[in-house]
A and B are shown apart, each in its own frame.
Chain A
């Protein structure tokens, strides 16, 4: 019953723990309190009960549990069972003994022990399980070996010469492991070998009077190894041993002055000896002359000196190492120093030579530098170690002076800039005007450019001074007709710079075969902008009215468009521009179109000058080569109500009444009806003949150099031949000249010829040169050289 209760409890525990949970007999497990991994609830009463029973002995427990144990039943069995159930921890094994056995380079360790003693001897038959662990003495990790049920074990994996610690423990079935037994140590002795070869590391002489050799000892198996250094000199057979092992430290040999010979080669070897044997190193040949490595220089000092130029520099001085005998000349040292800025990476190495001082110029003030020096014997030897670091810092006092100067300069310049800018602001405009004078735009008196911009024609016209159309009095004077006879396309009218008047007019005549096309209304007329004529033709610069032709299409027009209130105006309006009315002319693509530009004033002036008379030569405008002049004029002016009035300066008030107006108050310039006088003026060599209209009405004034008596005048133009030949007809009225055809001056190539022709054809008298000369003008009365038809 009790048993069943027990079992039930146990099972119940298992159940409580749940399936899958490991049922542990936790440490310090009392009795039957298996620990569930899961913390499950144990019934309270059971727990208490269990706790009570835990501390009771087996027999008491049994009694408590109400287990009736009959006397006859062996109690040991139960107790054992109890013990096993309780989880008895056995005692540790005892009598652990270790033995080493080395055989054939394999050393084994035999461990033996005895099972723990028991209180009840009757249980000796129980079976223990043993475990053994060992580790080297210095290490921490244990190596655990499961032995089984034996009481001995053999370990093979042991290192020679290492001390091991061994322990053993045991466990009963289903019980706990015992404690570990007490420690036992064992060490396997090494194999005894002769030592390995030592090695000589280096030999050095610090001052070329003594030297020292160092070697590296050989590995030994723990046995005591003794090293000896043996040497022999060149040429001698005798072997010596190192005189001094101690002065230079362990594993070294110091040769003092007595034992040091120069210019002889030493043969040095080291021998290592132990119980098992000895070993000799390789020979090392040494000539002391070549193994000198001095100590670093000492007493490094810095001094700041100022040179004559007041640029400071540093002088670095040092002294040779104390042991080196430089004074007697036995040892000559060369020095080398290196320096770098404190934060820098690279060293700058400077070879100094045999001097013990060095001047440094190239250091930046205010920066910190590190400098080091080392030395070497000349010719042969090794460089010493670098001396301890030396810090250099150059005082930056003079730098402050520089700064002050710079500050002053900066302040002054800023002041100047301020003043300059203030002046600029205050008088900026004036300065600007002074520096960059405005470009004068072209100005036309009386015309305000604004008006042009706005495009108001009325204002423009008013500005132009055309208060009415026809032009008023001031315009009258400028009624000069132009008919240009031109033959050369190359010639261009030069702009008349001198034209003061803004009203220089340019007569544009454009005709084509179709008469009547010259009007402004003609659709062939292109709009022309009245813009300033920069190429205002001024033939008159050469004192000659030149027919000028503008290449077709590029006519630049004198802005002086006379506004006419006629169709010309209509043109204007139609065009919507300020195109000159009747001045507007078509720009035919062909170059036939020619525009006569003349500065009337200029022309007039020139004519005046040339004639010196109050003649009013009529400048005949050139016509194009299409048509005869006459019809041209006709066409041109037919449609025009007004002649192109050439305004000219009022200065010419005289007979510059080239105005056609005169004889025709309102007649157009070339009133065809009135145009019956054509004065052919002299045809010059290079020029086109110019025809001048001579006004009858103004004969009073306009008589020009008319040679009395020779009043043969060809004033009528009959046709134009070959585009450049004007055929003139003599004036019947004036003279009874036969109608003849007179080719007008041909090309400019042979005016003479033409003249001659004229002369000949009309059997004129030979032109008198004198006359020509006397005329003194370019314009000669053709009658002077015209043949007398009479």
Chain B
């Protein structure tokens, strides 16, 4: 259940992100400005990340990790296949269109999940602790990307 929630959260955030990026620029129907929208999204993603962190802390409390556990090579997230910027510069340089690629990938993953197929064996074979670890990381990624994206989209902010 945690996995589903985590995936759903990440998917929702990224989907929203994609919507924002790809949607036409008119905001006539919506009283909200894009900045406000971004703020909301960022807040939501922040909440997701906080929840995942709390979950991870709980897990660590009950199952203290061994010293080597952090560097276990087995720990490989199922989303590691996605090319995501791993630094500020990369995040700033990445074209916005590529965001769509990311989201498409995620959508693909979501649809595969929706079909009920075992989405990726990798994810299934991961233990809960690993999954939570990956989820925590990914939610932090998403939030950071959103923040950078917000700054980039707003032309007035000299990011």
Contact = CB atoms under 8 A, between A and B. Distances in A.
Interface of A: 208-209, 234-235, 257, 260-265, 267, 282-283, 285, 289, 325, 327-330, 332, 378-380
B157 A330 contact: no
B159 A328 contact: yes
B88 A379 contact: no
B92 A328 contact: yes
A209 B53 contact: no
A205 to B, nearest CB: 12
Given A235-B76, A328-B148, A263 B141 contact: yes
A69 B80 CA distance: 115
A46 B50 CA distance: 106
A379 B87 contact: no
A174 B87 CA distance: 88
A261 B46 CA distance: 21
27 contacts: A209-B88, A235-B73, A261-B86, A261-B87, A263-B86, A263-B137, A265-B70, A265-B71, A267-B71, A283-B68, A283-B71, A285-B71, A327-B158, A327-B159, A328-B147, A328-B159, A329-B148, A329-B150, A330-B88, A330-B91, A330-B144, A330-B147, A379-B46, A379-B53, A379-B140, A380-B53, A380-B140
B89 A257 contact: yes
Given A234-B71, A289-B137, A330-B88, 14 more contacts: A209-B87, A235-B73, A257-B89, A261-B86, A263-B140, A264-B86, A267-B71, A282-B67, A327-B157, A327-B159, A329-B151, A332-B147, A379-B140, A380-B140
A327 B75 CA distance: 34
A379 B46 CA distance: 8
A289 B86 contact: no
Nearest to A232: B71
A255 to B, nearest CB: 12
A442 to B, nearest CB: 91
Contacts, number: 63
A380 B56 CA distance: 13
Given A285-B70, A328-B148, A379-B50, A257 B87 contact: yes
Contacts of A265: 70-71
Nearest to A325: B88
A486 B2 CA distance: 108
Nearest to A289: B140
A289 B88 CA distance: 12
Contacts of A208: 88
A379 B71 contact: no
B142 to A, nearest CB: 11
A234 B147 CA distance: 25
A282 B158 CA distance: 44
B86 A330 contact: no
Q: Which of A235, A257, A328, A380 has the most CB of B within 10 A?
A: A328
A235 B80 contact: yes
Contacts of A235: 73, 76, 80
Nearest to B87: A262
Pairs A-B, 3 closest by C-beta atoms: A329-B147, A285-B70, A328-B159
A235 B86 CA distance: 14
Contacts of A283: 68, 71
Contacts of B159: 327-329
B148 A330 contact: yes
Interface in B53-75: 53, 67-68, 70-71, 73, 75
A364 B147 CA distance: 41
A332 B46 CA distance: 11
Interface string B67-105: 110110101100010001011110110000000000000
Given A379-B49, A379-B53, A328 B73 contact: no
Contacts of A332: 147
Q: Which of B80, B87, B157, B158 has the most CB of A within 10 A?
A: B87
Nearest to B140: A289
A262 B138 CA distance: 11
Interface string B108-148: 00000000000000000000000000000100110010011
Given A260-B87, A261-B86, A327 B46 contact: no
A534 to B, nearest CB: 89
Contacts of A378: 46
Nearest to B76: A235
Contacts of B75: 234
B81 to A, nearest CB: 11
B35 to A, nearest CB: 12
A309 B70 CA distance: 58
Contacts of B73: 235
Contacts of A262: 86-87
Nearest to B50: A379
Contacts of A379: 46, 49-50, 53, 140
Nearest to A264: B86
Contacts of B49: 379
B122 to A, nearest CB: 13
Contacts of B87: 209, 257, 260-262
A539 to B, nearest CB: 98
A330 B88 CA distance: 7
A265 B151 CA distance: 27
Q: Which of B46, B49, B70, B91 has the most CB of A within 10 A?
A: B70
Contacts of B86: 261-264
A209 B87 CA distance: 8
A282 B50 CA distance: 31
Q: Which of B67, B68, B84, B140 has the most CB of A within 10 A?
A: B140
B144 to A, nearest CB: 7
A292 B35 CA distance: 27
A755 to B, nearest CB: 109
Contacts of A328: 88, 92, 147-148, 151, 157, 159
